[in-house]
């Protein structure tokens, strides 16, 4: 394939690859051009396909991954500064093997069989990358490609069957098919067959996958105080807003992440004030305490339920912390990040297990805190443990003017669709939103410019989705596909060697004592 003249310059090509890698970010909120995801990988793949060598393809994968990670986390720049580029560079390397696979399957004029294999192997390789980077220590599953489809109803049906992973697989498969249609005219039949198969599979899921059975509902109030100055002013604003909820026949009131900046055992006056609000509204209040614990060392973020008599004893301590925001990985090596940005000065402590507890009116709730709503396994485990309502208490005030609040709120739609359980995303400063058991939006969301409360009629549902029952099976299938392809390539290489008559390497002759024999002169 001839390289266009405008890509002749190495630096121009590198910049083009990085920009091409960043294109998929436009499919996520706030731009929310969800349809772009189905063609956004095509420019990147076409550039990789034209790479003259495998080494160049590896570099193109790294550069494209760097562009994708930097664009996905650009809102961290004001806080982490230069370290944002370091993170993007490290994570971008994950895409180097995937780009090598792209060139392996699509370079030149691939056969129909090679393209058919590409429609399985390349999406599987992408899922393997998403699995690796979903590890909390590498930043967690922020910006999984499938999560760009949070507002597309057919995609949400796919999520109920195979989680966000199944959506990612489908999106990448469509991108691969489009790339073939654009660049390989002689082998379009497998690509068209792949697109038809994807459409049929999505339609089958739409028609036959089980839907949650709605059974009644609850009234949940979200308190969003907006941007305030300090924990005392924030508490006072939350208290004033909650007073206005009296007499509204509520089942639960939810405050956002870090809504209480003091340990309630150390500040019984605050616990008494929240309890007074619970009596006034005749509703238990789920607050979030971000403070140093009095009963154990360290700072914890905890969801705490407070009733008319005070804290009920139901408490969940955050388990998965935000890298650099709440702790610094390998602090002895990377602690310098705190000196160049707003990284955590002290590591927060982790909770031991997830908790489902009774909200006080027979409603079983499963709390998560901020970043944890990005992890599909956490909401799935809560649903399996009997949670009827999923909750995420969040605060993105540091990134108020960025795309982060919109994208974070959108994750609740996917978690609801995956589990068949409604989800409340309650924040301090927006965006707050509620989604029903099929991922549909419930009521109006609260934007980043609002300081108010909102009451939502949240439908409850019973039943178990295939994703809750079978877990991350698309990831397992993807890994098996990669192993099978690797085994096939290994067997083929052995057969090719035998067919061409290339003898295996002969070990050097040895004497009776085991030492190498000297060649005759």
Q: What is the pLDDT of residue 507?
A: 52
Q: What is the pLDDT of residue 293?
A: 86
Half-sphere exposure of 13 (CA within 13 A, CB side): 18
Count of H-run helices and E-run strands, the chain: 17, 11
Structure confidence at residue 521 as a pLDDT band (50, 70, 90): very low
Predicted confidence (pLDDT) per residue in 58-102, tens digit: 999 999 999 999 999 988 888 777 878 988 999 999 999 999 999
Question: Over the chain, what is the mean pLDDT?
Answer: 89
Q: What is the pLDDT of residue 457?
A: 96
Q: What is the pLDDT of residue 341?
A: 61
Point out the least confidently predicted range of 138-147, 336-345, 367-376, 493-502: 336-345
Altogether, the residues listed in the chain come to a count of 521
8: pLDDT strictly greater than 80: no
Q: What is the pLDDT of residue 9?
A: 73
Residue whose C-alpha is closest to residue 220's, from 33, 435, 519, 477: 435
Question: Domain 213-328+338-464: which topology?
Answer: Nitrilase/N-carbamoyl-D-aminoacid amidohydrolase (3.60.110)
Structure confidence at residue 180 as a pLDDT band (50, 70, 90): very high
Q: What is the pLDDT of residue 494?
A: 85
Predicted confidence (pLDDT) per residue in 234-264, tens digit: 999 999 999 999 999 999 999 999 999 999 9
Q: What is the pLDDT of residue 413?
A: 97
DSSP 10: H
DSSP 174: H
34: pLDDT strictly greater than 70: yes
Predicted confidence (pLDDT) per residue in 93-105, tens digit: 999 999 999 999 9
Residue whose C-alpha is closest to residue 297's, from 247, 366, 339, 349: 349
The DSSP bridge partners found for residue 365 are 357, 389
Predicted confidence (pLDDT) per residue in 190-230, tens digit: 999 999 999 999 999 988 888 888 988 999 999 999 998 88
Half-sphere exposure of 332 (CA within 13 A, CB side): 0
Q: What is the pLDDT of residue 335?
A: 64
pTM of the model: 0.90
Point out the least confidently predicted range of 34-38, 48-52, 235-239, 395-399: 395-399
Predicted confidence (pLDDT) per residue in 392-423, tens digit: 999 988 788 888 999 999 999 999 999 999 99
3-state secondary structure 227-256: CCCHHHHHHHHHHHHHHCCCCCCCCEEEEC
Give the C-alpha distances (Å, rounded to integers) separating 518 from 198, 406, 514, 521: 64, 74, 12, 9
Q: What is the pLDDT of residue 7?
A: 61
Sheet with strand 285-292: strands edge to edge = 310-317, 299-307, 285-292, 252-255, 213-224, 452-462
DSSP 341: S
Please check whether residue 374 is in contact with residue 410, taking contact to mean a CB–CB distance below 8 angstroms: no
The two structure tokens encoding residue 66: 């760097």
3 state DSSP class of 365 = strand
Contacts 24+ apart (CB under 8 A), 367-370: 367/286, 367/303, 367/316, 367/391, 367/392, 367/393, 368/392, 368/393, 369/257, 369/288, 369/301, 369/303, 369/316, 369/318, 369/393, 369/394, 370/257, 370/301, 370/318, 370/322, 370/394, 370/395, 370/408
Point out the least confidently predicted range of 48-57, 315-324, 378-387, 499-508: 499-508
Predicted confidence (pLDDT) per residue in 429-457, tens digit: 989 999 999 999 999 999 999 999 999 99
The domain locations on the chain are 8-210, 213-328+338-464
Pairing of strands 285-292, 252-255: parallel
Q: What is the pLDDT of residue 520?
A: 46
Buried-state track 433-445, b at ≥16 Cβ within 10 A, e below 16: bbbbbbbbebbeb
Predicted confidence (pLDDT) per residue in 478-492, tens digit: 999 999 999 988 888
Structure confidence at residue 308 as a pLDDT band (50, 70, 90): very high
179: pLDDT strictly greater than 80: yes
Please check whether residue 394 is in contact with residue 192, taking contact to mean a CB–CB distance below 8 angstroms: no
Cα-only R_g, the chain? 26
């Amino acid at each position: 394939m001839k390289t266009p003249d405008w890509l002749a310059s190495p630096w121009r090509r590198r910049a083009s690859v990085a920009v091409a890698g960043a294109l998929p970010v436009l499919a996520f909120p706030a731009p929310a051009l969800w349809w772009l995801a189905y063609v956004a990988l095509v420019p990147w793949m076409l550039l990789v396909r034209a790479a003259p060598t495998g080494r160049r393809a590896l570099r193109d994968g790294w550069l494209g991954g760097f562009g994708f990670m930097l664009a996905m986390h650009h809102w961290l720049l004001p806080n982490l500064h230069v370290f944002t580029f370091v993170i993007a560079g490290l994570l971008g390397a994950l895409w180097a093997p995937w780009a090598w696979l792209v060139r392996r399957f699509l370079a030149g004029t691939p056969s129909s069989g090679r393209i058919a294999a590409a429609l399985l192997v390349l999406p599987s390789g992408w899922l393997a990358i998403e699995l690796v980077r979903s590890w909390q220590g590498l930043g967690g599953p922020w910006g999984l490609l499938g999560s760009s489809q949070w507002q597309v109803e057919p995609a949400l049906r796919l999520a109920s069957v195979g989680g966000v992973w199944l959506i990612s697989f489908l999106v990448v498969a469509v991108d691969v098919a489009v790339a073939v249609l654009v660049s390989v005219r002689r082998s379009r039949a497998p690509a068209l067959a792949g697109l038809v198969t994807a459409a049929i599979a999505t339609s089958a899921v739409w028609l036959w996958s089980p839907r949650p059975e709605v059974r009644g509902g609850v009234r949940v109030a979200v308190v969003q105080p907006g941007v305030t100055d300090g924990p005392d002013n924030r508490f006072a604003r939350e208290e004033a807003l909650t007073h206005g909820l009296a007499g509204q026949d509520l089942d639960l009131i939810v405050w956002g992440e870090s809504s209480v900046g003091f340990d309630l055992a150390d500040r019984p006056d605050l616990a008494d004030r929240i309890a007074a609000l619970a009596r006034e509204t005749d509703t238990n209040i789920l607050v979030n305490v971000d403070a140093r614990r009095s009963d154990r060392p360290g700072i914890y973020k905890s969801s705490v339920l407070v009733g008319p008599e005070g804290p009920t004893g139901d408490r969940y301590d955050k388990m998965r912390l935000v890298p650099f925001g709440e702790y610094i990985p390998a602090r002895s090596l990377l602690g310098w990040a705190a000196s160049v940005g707003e990284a955590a000065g002290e590591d927060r402590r982790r909770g031991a297990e997830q908790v489902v507890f009774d909200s006080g009116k027979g409603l079983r709730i499963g709390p998560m805190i901020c970043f944890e709503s990005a992890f599909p396994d956490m909401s799935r485990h809560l649903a399996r443990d009997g949670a009827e309502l999923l909750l995420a208490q969040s605060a993105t005030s540091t990134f108020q003017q960025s795309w982060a609040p919109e994208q974070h709120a959108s994750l609740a739609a996917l978690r609801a669709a995956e589990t068949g359980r409604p989800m409340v995303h309650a924040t301090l400063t927006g965006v707050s939103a509620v989604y029903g058991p099929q991922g549909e939006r419930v009521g109006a969301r609260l934007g980043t410019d609002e300081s108010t409360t909102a009451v939502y009629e949240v439908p409850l549902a019973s039943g178990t989705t295939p994703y809750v029952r079978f877990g991350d099976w698309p990831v397992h299938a993807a890994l098996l596909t990669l192993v099978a392809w690797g085994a096939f390539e290994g067997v083929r290489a052995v057969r090719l060697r035998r067919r061409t008559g290339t003898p295996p390497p002969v070990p050097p002759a040895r004497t009776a004592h085991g030492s190498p024999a000297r060649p005759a002169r």
